[in-house]
Structure 1
Amino acid sequence: MIRRNPTLIALNDTDVQQVRSAIAKRKTKTLAAKPGASTTEAIVHPTTLLQPFVAVEDSKRKREAMTRDERLGLR
């Protein structure tokens, strides 16, 4: 499979801040639309402390959990 090099996109600090503020604004709008949800909780805790999902590590763990026959498609 032939792949090309990824396209580099230059981002500066203001671009990142704009994205963060847009995400926070969208989150407060969705919470405001829900009945019974308070917007102060969204402002105080804008992000949850979840581990980020890394697909490469996940696929590596799944592959390591497989036996040799499963990897070769014999089972």
Structure 2
Amino acid sequence: MSRSLPQLKIVNRLHVFRAEQRITQEQLAKEIGVTRATVVAIEGGGYNPSLELAFRIARYFKTDINMIFSIEEEQR
């Protein structure tokens, strides 16, 4: 008997954190060592950052990684 695991989706609040700090995508990208396109893709949900990058982002904002990134079950 095999149970299928639910599909998980990583959601993020990167745009919210960036807006609160009033920094541009370009500024954030430079600070965390990626391109602006990467920041755009993360904010838009089209790219999930590596664990290392997610921690870099959290460290930049001086917050816990779970405050920016969370996991939700996808609706089927």
Q: TM-score, normalised by structure 1?
A: 0.22
More helix by share: 1
Instruction: Identify, as 1 or 2, the structure richer in strand.
Output: 2
